[in-house]
Amino acid sequence: MQTFARCLTSSTLLASALTLAGCAGTAKNASYEVAEVGSFHVGGQQVTLSGLPAREIVFTAGAAPRKVDPNGDFESGQMYAQYVKLKNPKARYPLMLWHGGGLAGTTWETKPDGAPGWQQFFLTQGHTVYVPDAMERGRASWSRYPEIYKTEPFFRTKQEGWELFRIGADGSYHSDPAKRVAYAGTQFPVAAFDQFGKQSIPRWATNDAATQAAYDALVQKACPCVIVVHSQGGNFAFNAALRAPDKIKAIVAVEPSGAPDPDKVDIKALKAIPFLFVWGDFVEQNTSWKQYIQAPNKFQQALQAQGGVADRLDLPQQGIKGNSHMLMMDRNSDQVAALVQAWMDKNGLMK
């Protein structure tokens, strides 16, 4: 399987990319001129409920009770998107940052340790940036269950986040932060892990179709675009590209946890879309990720087999060690973002 290094046209270009990565810490101090900051909701539909009991609720201490009737019309299935549009973007297309499971657009904003996130990094590189919250997450809001959503939500424990996101090995989490054992050399800012845990939000296991429909609506509204997508979001981005290959100009898949089966879907329409798959460290040490990586690997290989650009940036193979699943929050995340930026430069996505 090709790595990013082997896909570059020369070792000099790789050296240039690594040099850019090493200097990327200065990006947080760069300035850019903003034309507009805003947001919108997209997708969803009206849902009407009936036959539910009304009740009286006191909304604030000392207030009179008020009768609340849950019957009527509601909007459900919408997603939220925030955007920062540059006055003079250097990129050919807007950049969308799609989050993973149990998380929202905060993934890309300020990092848990207070350092600027990838939203800021790519703004400094000249991209107009969209950061959405998927249906049911964050400011997209969620709906009643079981009347609209058919199952109850579930919540990720901090232990699951610590171990599944490869900050430490199975069994290394402890409620006492002083007793947690991180992987040796981890790039995740361990002292900020509890702060990261505050970003975890409920999710549902039965809403994929509605979530995909909302992402498809976002693509129709705001693209052509380039998508940087993380974890669970990978499947949504890949399927959005299958549905609208003319609208998506590139996909950077950061540790996608799944992908369409190329034996069951026709991927010929994706041949003209360049893909980059980015992987961090400790994958082989994690039972879940040894399984999760199989479907994205198969998808990447199928894209390569039909002659498309489907590059792989395996950070440990590049000598960049210690990255967690949340590599956009790791201490060296600007270095990784600079390699992604170099790949976009190489693939003609900048003016």
Domain for residue 63, yes or no?
Answer: no
Say which residue the tokens 């040796």 belong to. Answer: 184
Domain for residue 325, yes or no?
Answer: yes
Domain for residue 62, yes or no?
Answer: no
Tell me: pLDDT of 210 over 60. yes
Q: According to the model, what pLDDT value does residue 12 have? A: 39
Query: Global pTM?
Result: 0.92
Domain for residue 64, yes or no?
Answer: no
Q: How many helices (H) and strands (E) does the chain have?
A: 10, 10
DSSP strand pairing (275-279 vs 225-230)? unpaired
Tell me: pLDDT of 259 over 50. yes
Domain for residue 351, yes or no?
Answer: no
pLDDT in tens, 179-194: 999 999 999 999 999 9
Q: How many Å is the Cα radius of gyration of the chain?
A: 21
Distance from the first to the final alpha carbon of the chain: 30
pLDDT in tens, 288-335: 999 999 999 999 999 999 999 999 999 999 999 999 999 999 999 999
d(CA 286, CA 186): 14
d(CA 98, CA 104): 8
Q: According to the model, what pLDDT value does residue 30 have? A: 77
d(CA 340, CA 88): 21
Q: According to the model, what pLDDT value does residue 21 have? A: 47
d(CA 162, CA 294): 22
Q: According to the model, what pLDDT value does residue 245 have? A: 98
Q: What is the percent of the chain where pLDDT is above 90? A: 90
Structure tokens at 92: 């050919």
Structural domain span for residue 297: 4-55+70-346
Q: According to the model, what pLDDT value does residue 24 have? A: 43
Measured N-to-C along each axis, helices 11-23 and 333-346 cross at an angle, to the nearest 10 degrees, of 140
Q: Is residue 95 within 8 Å of residue 130, measured between CB atoms? A: yes
Average pLDDT score over residue span 243-255: 98
Q: According to the model, what pLDDT value does residue 261 have? A: 98
pLDDT in tens, 99-115: 999 999 999 999 999 99
Within a 10 A sphere around the Cβ of 232, how many other Cβ atoms? 21
Beta bridge partners of 91: 350
d(CA 183, CA 228): 26
Query: In a 3-state reduction of DSSP, which class is residue 37?
Result: strand
Domain for residue 294, yes or no?
Answer: yes
Domain for residue 61, yes or no?
Answer: no
d(CA 24, CA 332): 9
Average pLDDT score over residue span 157-177: 98
d(CA 210, CA 69): 26
pLDDT in tens, 5-45: 444 433 334 444 555 544 444 456 678 999 999 999 999 99
Tell me the CATH number at 309: 3.40.50.1820
Q: Is residue 295 within 8 Å of residue 332, measured between CB atoms? A: no
Q: According to the model, what pLDDT value does residue 217 have? A: 98
Average pLDDT score over residue span 218-222: 98
Tell me: pLDDT of 141 over 90. yes
Q: What is the percent of the chain where pLDDT is above 70? A: 92
**Dihedral angle sign, alpha carbons of residues 293, 200, 159, 187:** positive
Domain count, the chain: 1
Domain for residue 108, yes or no?
Answer: yes
d(CA 82, CA 93): 16
Q: According to the model, what pLDDT value does residue 29 have? A: 67
Across all residues in the chain, what is the average pLDDT? Answer: 93
d(CA 218, CA 39): 12
